[in-house]
Structure 1
Amino acid sequence: MFIVLRILAAMLLAAASSVSFGASWPDRPITLIVPFTPATGIDLIARQLSASLPKRLGQSVVVENIPGASGNIGTEKVARAKPDGYTFLVTVSTLVMNRSLYKLPYDPVQAFEPVGQTSWGTLVLVTGPKNPVHDVAGLVAAAKAQPGKLTYGSPGVGTPHHLAMALLDGLTGIKMLHVPYKGTAGAVQDMLGGRLDYMFLPIHVALPQIKAGKLKAVAVGSPKRAAQLPDIPTLGEAGLKGANVDMWYGVLAPKGTPKPIIASLNKAVNEVLAAPSTAVAFESQGMVPAPSTPEQFGELIAKDDKRWAEVIKKAGITAN
């Protein structure tokens, strides 16, 4: 009986500490870690939050960029950080893609507490303006007529651009030749020069070239048609059920961060996402605000973890 009472007392103390901790949070600056270089879409999200959260939380919010190893270095730092509500990760869907590509010293699902999704980033499938193919059906027919001959580019092995095409290949039974680059710029230049047949690009990167007639949009990877390209069908409309290849962005905390803190930050982040200025800033990077609950974001992460693992395994993709 004495042991039971001690256990109950410990549980009550822990619960009281958690409530107190959450109620007093934050009492010092908060750090948002971005596991990629500055001037990326993820960095823009973090800086939008760092500019808008202080007036809602009463403390300054600092952005720290820790790039390297496809985002794994900065991500690991957050996974190992003290779960005290002062270190958070702003990341993208490569978080779960990397599990099947690298031997990670952390679990991308179990090592974090979801705070909330921030946005979606749309990918658009493009080709050259002289290519007679103008839809997914035409692409599939051309690829089946020339197995392994048609090419597609990406910023690197295992990037969302690469895996989006791997998913397309798997769903249609075609096989195209992947040409990986070290970044987006070189791949785009070869697309414009006609040295690549196809590529998935973020919509804000592709749109100026599409409007200039230098690239042609074939399909968008979002569940719904993109506002910027209302006449371009989705992959789903082209008959590829479930082929949503959009990238999600969101905020995560180290595992064990108190629930009251998660709830408080989620509320503040969703308020930032609801502001018109956020929509304008995100649009410049081809993103759309997507507020969520921590639970909804957690479900999305778990679903994508399984989905991309299957795509990577089926395509035989490795990071080496």
Structure 2
Amino acid sequence: MRDILTDRPPGCVAQLTRRALGAALLLPAAARAQGPNGGSSTRPVTIIAPFGPGTPPDLVARMLAEALQRQRAQPFVVDNRPGASGTIGAAAVARAAPDGQTLLIATGTAAMNVSLFRSLPYDPVGSFAPVVLLASVPFAIIAHPAAGATLPEVVARARANPGRVNYATPGVGTPHHVATEMLRQRTGIQIEHVPYRAAGGAVADILNGTVSLMFLPAPQAVELSRDGRVRVLAVATEARLPELPAVPTTAEAGVPDMLMSDWYGLFAPGATPPDTVLRLNEAVNAVLPAMTQPLAAQGMTSLGGPPERLRALFAAEIARWAAVIRTGGISAE
């Protein structure tokens, strides 16, 4: 995972994309309005966000649409298609014409869905052409103070009381659920799953002590821990986070091979010509520097790189989560 997700690709994408962005801004509007297939186009490009308005994928999609619209002098619109853990929106892109005019913002959930659903209305690999890896956000483990002061303490308590320690998630098959199942498998503990309909209810019951622990994106964990109502037990990353310097990584807390980050990638329909994919990739890499601060404000790290980087990550994530989901007997249906 380190080489795929956290390391910058060879050639320093950040420097290359800064130069590309500067060059793009010097082009006349007519040149920047070139369509995905190389010709002049004013047709709107649709970016499908397979989750609802205000969710992280929607925010990333809107940042990207705004940045690309400024760069290319071409309309980019966001179309929210929520439902079925993102599979409804993904199916719409799988069926779209492979002309670069319809794109998908996918998250790490897309890799989990391959194993969570008995069948999908598309080929999870063949129906999509990876364009670019956009951003990632790490996860952390939080707990009510009564559950324990450290992750080893919580694990020891769970071992001594099988089934008596519980955890919250926003629902069956969510990244929060799959991540906690991975923790359970890595430690051998028996803990009780308490699924909610949304993250808000789960967080509320962590705060009042009804449930003991929960995986959350690190930015949310930071905010919740400011007043001491929850503890951040560990971050599921290779290195400690600057915003949580005193919080150990999961490996430091005694749980190795326990990495968890959500990621955001841009995909096109599977039959999209390689030259169209390359043009889209170059366009997005050119605007990512301008998105770095807005993404950081949401706790995300901008990434970028060639299509192969996203393709490799997606394949690795499908295999990694398949093992966890199969062992845990998790199903979204």
TM-score (norm 1): 0.89
CA distance in 1, matches of 2:156, 2:186: 14
* 2:141 maps to 1:125: yes
1:7-33 deviation line (CA, Å, top 9, x unaligned): xxxxxxxxxxxxx97322655211000
- Paired residue for 2:195, among 180, 183, 186? 180
* 2:272 match: secondary structure: coil
Is the 2:137–2:261 contact (alpha carbons within 8 Å) kept by the matching residues of 1?
A: yes
**Structure 2: stretches of 5+ with no match in the other structure:** 1-34
CA distance in 1, matches of 2:158, 2:78: 44
TM-score (norm 2): 0.86
Q: How far did 1:89 drift?
A: 0.1
Residue pairs, 1:78-93, within 5 angstroms: 78-93=93-108
Residue pairs, 1:8-47, within 5 angstroms: 22-24=37-39, 26-47=41-62
Q: How far did 1:152 drift?
A: 0.3
Residue pairs, 1:89-104, within 5 angstroms: 89-102=104-117, 103-104=119-120
1:197-227 deviation line (CA, Å, top 9, x unaligned): 1001122222222011111000012222222
Partner residue, 1:149: 164
- Paired residue for 2:315, among 295, 302, 308? 302
* 2:210 maps to 1:195: yes
Is the 2:36–2:101 contact (alpha carbons within 8 Å) kept by the matching residues of 1?
A: no
Partner residue, 1:292: 305
Partner residue, 2:252: 237
Is the 1:25–1:85 contact (alpha carbons within 8 Å) kept by the matching residues of 2?
A: no
CA distance in 1, matches of 2:256, 2:126: 29
Q: How far did 1:124 drift?
A: 1.1
**Structure 1: stretches of 5+ with no match in the other structure:** 1-19
Is the 1:96–1:109 contact (alpha carbons within 8 Å) kept by the matching residues of 2?
A: no
Partner residue, 1:12: none
Partner residue, 1:319: 332
Query: What fraction of aligned residue pairs are identical, expressed as a percent?
Result: 42
1:92-132 deviation line (CA, Å, top 9, x unaligned): 1101111211121112222100001111112110011233x
Q: How far did 1:283 drift?
A: 2.6
* 2:146 match: secondary structure: coil
Q: How far did 1:292 drift?
A: 2.2
CA distance in 1, matches of 2:77, 2:48: 8
- Paired residue for 1:213, among 208, 224, 228? 228
1:30-66 deviation line (CA, Å, top 9, x unaligned): 1000000000111111110111102322311110001
* 2:112 maps to 1:69: no
Partner residue, 1:281: 294
Larger Rg: 1
* 2:317 match: secondary structure: helix
CA distance in 2, matches of 1:265, 1:231: 40
CA distance in 1, matches of 2:246, 2:143: 16
CA distance in 2, matches of 1:246, 1:272: 23
CA distance in 2, matches of 1:196, 1:136: 15
Is the 1:128–1:214 contact (alpha carbons within 8 Å) kept by the matching residues of 2?
A: yes
* 2:194 match: secondary structure: strand
Is the 2:57–2:105 contact (alpha carbons within 8 Å) kept by the matching residues of 1?
A: yes
Q: Which amino acid aligns with 1:269?
A: V
Instruction: Decide whether aligned partners of structure 1 residues 237 and 107 sit closer, same or farther in structure 2, where only a CA change above 3 A counts.
Output: farther
Stretch moving more, 223-232 or 305-314: 223-232
* 1:49 match: secondary structure: helix
Instruction: State the number of aligned residues.
Output: 298
The alignment yields a C-alpha RMSD, in angstroms, of 1.6
